Chain A
């Protein structure tokens, strides 16, 4: 009996050790990023794990720099993400609700077309989007918002999976009592779907903070770095200005850490919705 217990104990210890090792391996590069943001460095290169000298100058530098208008980037991104969050959530939730709860003639075709469109690589449309926005003189933050909101009509899968799980009998009962479908939507559908609205809104909010490709194509032509969003601004800082700005590499890391912290926290909070969405919305027609 005692040998059985000893075996169980050994197995548990081994599993804890394995888990701890894995956790360290996984989290280590992230810790290193944070450490590097505090390291004093003027070579544009971080080649040690533990900084030789700690300093806050990277954070001070990125906030006060004229060359990299970090505060403008945050302001622009905040503007884009808040407006796009409101509009995209409205669009996504409307589409998801209509496709899940209402029955109409172009429902199936819409689902099929959405599936087909989703299989084209998103980059294909970039040149076209550039020219569309250019011909309407919209290569700016408003144009960027339009691109994000325009795509929101196809990002309905997770929200639709959620609506599919709400029993239809509730709707039917309300309709028998004389409620119009709009009333059902506003007074029953929306209050019951607060989690998915929060999830959709947070996803839409996060997107502009992490997108460096579309924002780069749309905003770079202005040549004015004050109009950039944060993701493109930071990306541009290490890539386009290679050579001249390597001395600012640690500033870049500091900037990354500043925006990564809130996004990471938001995502960790959302992880439950994320899982539910993937497993619930997987294969329902």
Chain B
């Protein structure tokens, strides 16, 4: 994946830099930045040196212990009552907080890797400096280096703050959760937990959660296929209807549908749940009209599983069709008209034109977006969580209901009664594997038929 480009061999090996460099260069192998300071590249030199000093101070005073605790996640695993000599009383000692130990351990590993990366870049910079001095070419001054941050090195200026943000709020949490999948962090070990290898994976795939995992996985895939296919297909039809000849005020029609999507989902879906409730307006109206004798339990706790699942897919169509209508409108407007004209002249009816020409063309253009939608639907938290909350209950499931997807189950495992944090992390990893496999496979396929 990270293929190296073929580059020219370096102008000097590190061996040569070490052998022929002056004492500052030699010292720079240990204290980054000294050679740069010697060459009056103040900003760069002091930045390197300062970072190293701060890092070493942190490493000695806190990093080493943090990293060493990472191996055990804390020695005291259980709550104990110990006798306190000085006060002469028994006190309860809580176990070591493994959550915090693990978090800072992961952070320490990231910092260590970042330091290694910085050290390598400092070596590269050192070599460049050495070559410039050896060959007598121009050595950039401090000012030139600073102004290059706005020119040839603008990417450093633009990317460094965002990368820090991504590191702190996405990479660190993700790595932390991945490592949590290899522990026994659950309701039995809420504070002090330990590494248990692949045991949590075993629980999910073959253990007590397997009876929930596989049915929920099955429904998640059915849901993702159904939700993606229905919204796409009917979205295209709706777009064609609005775009068809003779319809006036197309923009206004589109806006009517888009409004549904624009309303915040926690409003529209929570209210939709109310609308479909056993005592909600829909049932009242249907009963008043005499269409049904008893209210239909669409999504309640004791609803029929199949009814609830169909309801969820239908409500998702209500939310999702406007979006796919919008995107396919843009594509339809750019479709080449000549094929359609030719087909019409040959006597093809609108249905044939749609099936043989328009639809395949739209499908072709939208393929990458469809894959993204499919993955988005695997992770579609809002529709399930807000509409049904996973209901109806299923007694043979562990902490999930009949309409629960893997993500909503993941949420329940963390914030519900069961508190199986490690299992939720395993689920996260499995969802990642599913999404990655699907998109890898699908991108391959779509690329193949693009080239072919």
Contact = CB atoms under 8 A, between A and B. Distances in A.
B428 A123 contact: yes
Given A26-B322, A131-B103, A47 B163 contact: no
Interface in A27-47: 27, 29-30, 32-33, 36, 45-47
A168 B2 CA distance: 26
A112 B3 CA distance: 12
A268 B259 contact: yes
Contacts of A33: 263, 267-268, 271
Contacts, number: 251
A212 B382 CA distance: 10
B403 interface: no
A135 B272 contact: no
A91 B160 CA distance: 10
B247 interface: yes
Contacts of A185: 154, 158
B377 to A, nearest CB: 12
A150 B263 contact: no
Given A95-B158, A128-B173, A181 B271 contact: no
Contacts of B159: 94-95, 98, 110
Contacts of A149: 165
Given A123-B410, A181-B150, A19 B247 contact: yes
A238 B266 CA distance: 11
Interface stretch (B53-61, B135-143, B280-288): B280-288
Interface stretch (A56-64, A193-201, A259-267): A259-267
Given A33-B271, A127-B421, A132-B103, A98 B154 contact: yes
Interface string B408-450: 0011001000000100110010011001100100000000000
Dominant secondary structure at the A interface: helix
B166 A26 contact: no
A132 B171 contact: no
A86 interface: no
A201 B246 CA distance: 37
B10 interface: no
A150 B281 contact: no
Interface in B287-302: none
B354 interface: no
B131 interface: no
A19 B242 CA distance: 8
A282 interface: yes
B247 A15 contact: yes
B407 A271 contact: no
B168 interface: yes
B238 interface: yes
Interface string B365-395: 1001100000100010100000000000000
Contacts of B271: 29, 32-33, 36, 253, 256
B268 A18 contact: no
B168 A150 contact: yes
Contacts of B435: 119
A79 interface: no
Given A22-B238, A279-B327, A102 B155 contact: yes
A152 B162 contact: yes
Nearest to A234: B266
B203 interface: no
A263 B407 contact: no
B83 interface: no
Interface residues of B, number: 89
B342 to A, nearest CB: 20
Nearest to B148: A180
Contacts of A238: 270
Contact-residue size bin, chain A (C-beta under 8 Å from the other chain)? 35 or more
B280 A30 contact: no
Nearest to B156: A104
B368 A282 contact: yes
A209 interface: yes
Given A125-B177, A263-B262, A275 B329 contact: yes
B170 A150 contact: yes
B256 to A, nearest CB: 5
A153 interface: yes
Contacts of A19: 241-242, 247, 253
Contacts of A210: 264-266
A281 to B, nearest CB: 10
A27 B318 contact: no
Contact of B428 (A46, A110, A124, A267): A124
A275 B327 contact: yes
Given A15-B244, A30-B259, A263-B263, A46 B281 contact: yes
30 contacts: A15-B241, A15-B244, A27-B260, A29-B318, A30-B263, A33-B268, A98-B158, A117-B171, A117-B174, A119-B435, A120-B431, A123-B410, A123-B428, A124-B177, A126-B414, A129-B173, A131-B99, A180-B151, A182-B157, A185-B154, A185-B158, A209-B264, A210-B264, A235-B270, A256-B271, A263-B264, A267-B261, A274-B326, A278-B369, A282-B368
Interface of B: 1-2, 99-100, 103-104, 147, 150-152, 154-155, 157-159, 161-163, 165-166, 168-174, 176-177, 180, 238, 241-242, 244, 246-247, 253-268, 270-272, 274-275, 277, 279-281, 284-285, 318, 322, 326-327, 329-331, 365, 368-369, 375, 379, 381, 407, 410-411, 414, 421, 424-425, 428, 431-432, 435-436, 439
